[in-house]
Structure 1
Amino acid sequence: MILEPGRPTPLRSAATLAWLPVILVASFLSQPRLPFTVLVIGGAVLASLGWVVLSAKPERPGWLLPAGLVTLSAGGCLMVAQAREWVTPIAFCFVAVVTAGTRLRWTWALALTLATIAALIPAVAPREPSGALLLGLAMVTVLMLGMARRDRFRRAEERELAEASETRATEEHARAAALAERARIARDVHDVLAHSLSALAVQLQGARLMLQRDGAAADTIAQVERAQRLATEGLAEARRAIHALRSGPIDLPSGLAALAADHPGATLDVAADLPELTPEARETVVRTAQEALSNARKHAPGAPVRIRLARAGEGARLEVTDVTGARPEPGTGGYGLVGMAERAALVGARLDAGPTEDGWRVSLTIP
């Protein structure tokens, strides 16, 4: 029955309601004045009730708005009938008709219009015979205006739906392109970097065995072992990167738990009241923790590391703290910190990394 969806804003409702006392005061003070009879007061009460319902524009229950429009029109007709000529309260009838054309199905709107005309003609026709024709034309005109307004709302809604559908299609296309690009990068990393690191680790293992066989110096063997360990860790990092590129959205607790399990001496503390983060933000948290743990393995192997994810206002904060020795300053030891900072900036987060009293801490704050 009701065609135009949505509730009005409080400001619009208040503005609509503010016109009610204006029309009522004008009805009793303007010329010709209405008599203070029981029927006139009753009509004013009915019109006021209908106007209050109109200002609220309720959607539920479905009968309330049509009943309010009928009440509004009936109150206006009753007041006009007591004056038996054109008076200010006829505005209630016009408002009821135009709102019916906007909000109700055309059959209900037409029925209300015809009923209003039929109720008003006996009041205005006897003194002004041409008033009946004028009244009918005026009522039909405002009905058509209301229906035109309804059609304009409908076209605007259809445009919004079309734009939303186009936006979703564009986003899906962009998401598909991003997934295809991630798959390509994963293939390149697997085919080039992972294979090269795997071959390097095998070659270093062979070189270590040959040095041990030939009785090489202990420090030489230690350097080769360290190189082999770094190659093995690099291979593990490459495999994790490939998995990340090919996997879907990251689950924060399980993703951090997997990183902590792969790092000896790491402890994990995840708060239970974390806010809902976007997939990009969740991935940033996990990748930052992964890079921080990788740095800890390089600069302080075997040192205890604490991973803590807690709520920070409406966002979240990740802290990875380890007990380390000296660390390179940002910008002098590779692109790990630079990459973390760039990833944080993409989601509007803040990254802080620096020494503590007994180690090193990486802090990521997501708003």
Structure 2
Amino acid sequence: MQWAFTLGVIVVGIATIRPMGFSGRGLAVVVLVALNSLFLLGRNVPQDRVPARVVVVWASLGIVAAASLIGAARTGTGYLFAFFLVGHIGYRLPPVGAVPLAALAGGLCGGVLYLHLGPGHESLSWGVGLCAALPVVVGIVSRSRQRAIDAVIESAESAERAARAEARTAALAERSRIARDVHDVLAHSLAGINMQLELVDALLDTGDLTRIREANDRAHSLVKESLKQAQWTVHALREDTLPLLGSLTAMIESSGHRDALTVDGTVREPPARVVQHLLRIAQEALTNAARHAPGGDVRVEVTFAAASTTLRIRNGPATREAAGAGSGMGLIGMRERIAMVDGTLTAGPITEGPDRGGWQVEAVIPE
């Protein structure tokens, strides 16, 4: 659009401005038209490629050339060069620099006509020359509007970048959640199954069929437990709503304990997100108890307070040989989960009471 206006002004000027020739005043008019055309074409140069000082020099020379053309031409539309140049000065420069140049343009163009410094005064009033300063207002308004549009675009781009960063963060958080769930399901179960199978392999040489069957049965039990845990994980990844107490009861019974759940307070169903994390913490704690304290008693307590839900898992000392040290990722995963719902988690050995020598995990989630 800007190129079209510029070329239109040049074409109209060449078609209407007189005299034009190869000698005398006609040659001077031709040269001035050419100079004004060059200065006017300069407004199409991208703003970021021209320093502000160069723009001021270019605009000043263009104003002088436009005023000279108004005075030298007898007839035509030479004044359009001044009008469009001043308008672009208002757009290209800040008001503190554009207004003085516009005043200079109005003063020169009006003065040339008022003082009759050429034949141009015969067809144009000196008031037209003074009006050459007015298009600066249009340029300033256009500049302000463009700045506002650029600010909106930049804000939108910034918001889009922030949204992409948030999406990446959410994706990483989801990967961490899936990694925790996979660890909860597979790490302990596969380690236990592998240990039983290695035991079976070692017992084959002894021919002790009784112990081989016991180890094989324990491996089968671990496989069944792993399948149940996998089902819970699928539910969690799908974000299905699971009943807290019903799921805890099934989880405790599948781990080989009966009547181990105690509920205090007014029973209610916490938010799905809270239930999901409590179940995963309970699963991890029960798995740790089975691995590190096999044969020990397990008690699970759920307390519904006015502003929080508390889950407490206690296990007594082992009565059989433990499977060995774990990876340490289970407790880290529980702490990560509790932090996601602004809760607190404490875990440590029990130093007194009937469960002395055992372990306790307590998770408190505010609501």
Larger-gyration structure (1/2): 2
TM-score between both structures, scaled by the size of structure 2: 0.49
